Chains A and B, each alone.
Chain A
Amino acid sequence: MTGLLIKEWFLIKKYCRAYLLITVVFLALSCVSDYNLFIVLYPCLLCVMIPITLQSYDERNGWTRYSGTLPYTKGQLVSCKYLTGLLTMLAILLATGIIQTVKMAAGGTFNSERLLVILFAMSILMFFSVSLCLPFIFKFGTEKGRIVYFVIVGLFCAGAVIVSNLFTENPIIKIDLNTLLLCLFLVGCGLYAMSWALSITFYKRREI
């Protein structure tokens, strides 16, 4: 599968420069802003954008069809996109981790718990967005898959708002933020694994 990852790297270098620039800008902004959650979390969306963009170029270039003639299983072709998502995720987490540590240390406010909360929140967002998106892309192709993804994300956000209201309005349901983040992180990991397996099943059934 190394060949596939090398190909993805060449494509990222060529087509995803804008995403890299956006990430750098937001990372720089997160250095100067006062823990604005939007600025810290925004680069996480790239995790989902990069695999979708790559898949979209694959379809446009005819690579989707051509890869079917190469000695790769459909499982490997799908896994390549999930690994790319994971590697992007790791790179963003690492960059954020370094920047936040430097920022906190420079201000004399280093707080490992706060750093972990940021990194966990980012991981959760990345796991959920990639997990929800990619199966639809592999089932319906990038064009239709993107539409289905937006519908699902809309429903997911509405669900999240309802659940968060339940927590704030009902004093009986109380949960510690750290426990909640850990639970969501574990759910995110599980969801990523399930999404990976589901995408392989979808792609195996799809005729290319």
Chain B
Amino acid sequence: MNAIEIKDLTKSYSGFTLDHLNLVLPEGCIMGLVGENGAGKSTTIKLILDMIHKDGGSISLLGKDNTENIDLKEEIGVVLDDIGIPECLTVRQVGQVMRHTFKNWRQDRYQSLIKKMSLPERKPFKDFSRGMKMKLGIVVALSHDPRLLLLDEPTSGLDPIVRDEVVEMLMDFTREEKHAVLISSHIVSDLEKLCDYVAFLHKGKLLLCEEKDRLLAKYGMIHCTEEELRNFPPNAIKFEKKNPYGTQALVVRNAMPSGVRVSPVSIEELFVFMVKEAV
């Protein structure tokens, strides 16, 4: 079963259109939704959660229409970029509220994760650092046995240590076969560590949605002179960038002549190249 299935999703605001988005996230997988600020990542997540009304298309979550039943949200853990937990609440009070919110709330898991993350139980949320706030958001999202996690920019503004801890928590979650994660971020390096699939969004349009390993196997990077570049088959060159030291080009590995040294490309480089090509 697919955890998320989006078909022809559209949503228009003045100055922005999410344009016929098609996306499939199979169960057991992690998808990274990559895009610059304003690309449509948060809009997509809000539409998935039926927090805003779509203009067209359909969204199915865990095999059900996303507008069908509020109980569907019992199976989804969500972390928003600004978390949204009331500032005066302590960890203990958040636990009390959520215990009466989710039918599947697991207080034992909540408490053990709070301990694991070393979160103070009596401090109000407003006195938490950005990293602690995000950790609490993720702990809440994980404490009601969700099958799907939706994370909107969970690592932005976090220091590398906390980012690593967050990535670790998410990896733990995906050890279960039926769990799936959709994570949006513009910090591509974090997604590279985590994701099975990557989707590039740019100005409301989906540039690509592909398995990460397949993408990395398909594309590569070469550094050469402009003259050397002209000798390669044109269909192999996806994008080129000139600098004072030569030319850097994104190439399709299979189309390159044998013997040419093609270096691996990172998801971040790939994204930057594709966005520039799309401009």
Q: Residues of A at under 8 Å CB distance from B?
A: 2-4, 6-7, 10-11, 14-15, 57-58, 61-73, 207-208
Residue in chain A with minimal CB distance to B49: A69
Closest 7 CB pairs of A and B: A66-B84, A3-B101, A3-B100, A69-B78, A62-B84, A68-B51, A71-B73
Contact B99 A65 (CB under 8 A): no
| B87 cross-chain contacts in A, Cβ below 8 A | 61
For window 81-130 of chain B, which residues contact chain A by CB distance below 8 Å?
82-89, 93, 96-103
**Which residues from chain B sit less than 8 Å from chain A, CB to CB?**
46, 49-53, 70-71, 73-74, 76, 78, 80, 82-89, 93, 96-103, 150
A73–B80 CB distance below 8 A:
no
CB distance from B15 to the nearest CB of A (A): 16
The answer, among A6, A14, A65, A68, for a CB contact under 8 Å with B82, is A65
Which secondary structure dominates where chain B touches chain A? loop
| Nearest residue, chain B, Cβ from A68 | B51
What A residues does B83 contact at CB under 8 A?
Answer: 62, 66
Cross-chain contact B70 with A71 (CB below 8 angstroms): yes
A6 and B51 contact, Cβ closer than 8 Å, known pairs A61-B85, A65-B80, A69-B76: no
The reply to whether A72 and B70 contact each other, CB–CB distance below 8 Å, is: yes
> B272: shortest Cβ distance to chain A, in Å?
30
Name which of A57, A66, A208 has the most chain B CB atoms within 10 A of its CB: A66
- Tell me the complex Cα distance, A58–B86, Å: 7
Q: How far is the CB of B258 from chain A (nearest CB, A)?
A: 51
Contacts of A71 in B (CB 8 A): 70-71, 73-74, 101-103
Across-interface contacts of A63 in B (CB, < 8 A): 84-86
- For A2, give the chain B residue with the smallest CB separation: B100
Q: For the A-B complex with A61-B85, A66-B78 known, give 16 more contacts whose Cβ atoms are closer than 8 Å.
A: A3-B97, A3-B98, A4-B101, A6-B97, A6-B100, A10-B93, A11-B88, A57-B86, A61-B84, A68-B50, A69-B84, A69-B150, A70-B101, A72-B70, A207-B53, A208-B52
In the complex, number of A-B residue pairs with CB atoms less than 8 Å apart: 78
B88 with A10: CB separation less than 8 A = yes
Tell me, in angstroms, the Cα distance from A72 to B51 when the chains sit together: 12
* Contact of A7 with B99 at beta-carbon distance under 8 Å, contacts A69-B76, A69-B78, A71-B73 already known: no
Contact B51 A208 (CB under 8 A): yes
- Selected from B70, B84, B150, the residue in CB contact (under 8 A) with A73 is B70
Q: How far is the CB of B156 from chain A (nearest CB, A)?
A: 15
Distance, CA A69 to CA B45, complexed state (A):
10
User: In this complex, what residue of A is CB-closest to B89?
Assistant: A10
Closest to B76 in A: A69
Interchain nearest-CB distance for A195 vs B (Å): 23
Given contacts A65-B82, A66-B84, contact A207 B52 (CB under 8 A): yes
> Looking at the complex, which one of B50, B73, B96 makes contact with A70 (CB distance below 8 Å)?
B73
State which of B52, B73, B88, B89 has its C-beta within 8 Å of the C-beta of A69. Answer: B73
Whether B85 pairs with A72 at a CB distance below 8 angstroms is no
CB A145 to nearest CB in B, in angstroms, measures: 20
Query: How far apart sit A53 and B71, CA to CA, in the bound complex (Å)?
Result: 29
B-chain residues with CB within 8 Å of residue A62 when the two chains form the complex:
80, 82-84
Report the minimal beta-carbon distance from A132 to chain B, rounded to whole angstroms: 27
CB contact under 8 A between A68 and B85, given known A2-B100, A10-B97: no
Alpha-carbon separation in the docked complex, A207 to B51 (Å): 6
**Chain B nearest CB, measured from A46 CB (Å):** 19
